[in-house]
């Protein structure tokens, strides 16, 4: 019901902004050996996902974006895991006792490489869970598989994560994951466009800097799969998402992946 109320409260803005973007956005996709209607659906889904994330934050007559803040403190009733907090700050910790299974898993398996970690987490979470869908989408993006496959997995993960976090009233976390997954889908779609297709007109309404604060502006410069991968390794859902983004291990993680990409390009 929380997610439904959230959508309904911005329905008017969605309609007005969608028509404005639709009229302004014209591009042609290279659809060799592909189904035209399927590609059209991919574009439509990207636009809708981006609008869902941005329109709740964008006034109909203004491009100014307010920071995303949960309306209530949903973590005051959650038992914190002090060991995981120490882990986020880069401290060497023993396995926690009486802590959430995801937090325990992250501490126990942080030494694994990305592929091994994702496989283990997927086995723990299961294919039908939001976390399992997220693991599959990140794996597809990391492995650089076919863009349609990357898009499909990201779309499933986006829906499941948004619904799950919206139901818990964690709009800050829901919006962040939705944004990063929408960016993953947008990149996949761009890779299928012809050079003369004007795909740069595919909208990107929000930035991490505007939605979460300038201290996180560096995340906007990263491949979204890097950030999602690091969140998969570090976000236990027990603390506010800004605490995860500002942690030592998150910054260390995204820096490591950025350096790996640069070294491969040399």
Quick: pLDDT tens for 153-182: 999 999 999 999 888 889 999 999 999 999
pLDDT one digit per residue (tens) for the chain, 266 residues: 433 343 344 334 333 333 333 333 323 233 333 333 444 444 444 444 444 444 444 333 334 457 898 888 888 878 888 999 999 999 988 888 788 899 999 999 999 999 999 999 999 999 899 999 999 999 999 888 899 999 999 999 999 999 998 888 899 999 999 999 999 999 998 888 877 777 777 767 678 999 999 999 999 999 999 999 999 999 999 999 999 999 999 999 999 877 765 555 44
Record the pTM.
0.74
Retrieve residue 67's tokens: 């920071």
Closest to 135 measured CA to CA, from 160, 111, 110: 160
Q: Give Cβ neighbours of residue 238 (< 8 Å, ≥ 6 apart).
A: 75, 78, 80, 81, 84, 100, 103
Instruction: Give tens-digit pLDDT for 57-87.
Output: 433 333 445 789 888 888 887 888 899 999 9
Q: Are 206 and 241 in contact (CB under 8 A)?
A: no
Q: How far is CA 105 from the centre of its chain?
A: 21
Instruction: Give tens-digit pLDDT for 100-113.
Output: 899 999 999 999 99
3-class DSSP assignment, residue 166 = helix
What is the predicted pLDDT for the residue at 257? 79
């Amino acid at each position: 019901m929380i997610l439904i109320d959230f959508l309904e409260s911005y329905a008017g803005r969605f309609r007005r902004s969608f028509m404005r973007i639709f009229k302004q956005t014209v591009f042609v996709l290279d659809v060799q050996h592909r189904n035209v209607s399927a590609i059209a659906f991919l574009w439509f889904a990207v636009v809708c996902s981006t609008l869902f994330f941005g329109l709740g934050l964008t006034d109909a007559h203004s491009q100014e974006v307010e920071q995303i803040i949960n309306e209530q403190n949903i973590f005051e009733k959650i038992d914190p895991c002090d060991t995981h907090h120490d882990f986020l700050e880069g401290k060497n910790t023993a396995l926690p006792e009486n802590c959430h299974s995801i937090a325990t898993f992250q501490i126990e398996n942080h030494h694994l490489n990305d592929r091994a970690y994702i496989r283990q987490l997927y086995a723990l979470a299961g294919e039908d869970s939001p976390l399992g869908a997220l693991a599959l989408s990140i794996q597809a993006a990391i492995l650089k598989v076919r863009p349609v496959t990357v898009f499909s997995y990201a779309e499933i993960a986006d829906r499941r994560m948004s619904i799950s976090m919206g139901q818990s009233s964690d709009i800050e976390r829901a919006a962040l994951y939705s944004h990063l997954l929408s960016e993953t889908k947008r990149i996949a779609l761009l890779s299928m466009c012809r050079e003369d297709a004007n795909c740069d007109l595919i909208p990107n309404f929000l930035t991490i800097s505007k939605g979460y604060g300038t201290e996180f502006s560096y995340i906007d410069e990263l491949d979204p799969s890097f950030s999602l991968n690091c969140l998969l390794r570090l976000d236990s859902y027990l603390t506010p998402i800004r605490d995860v983004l500002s942690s030592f291990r998150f910054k260390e993680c995204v820096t490591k992946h950025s350096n790996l990409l640069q070294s491969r390009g040399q």
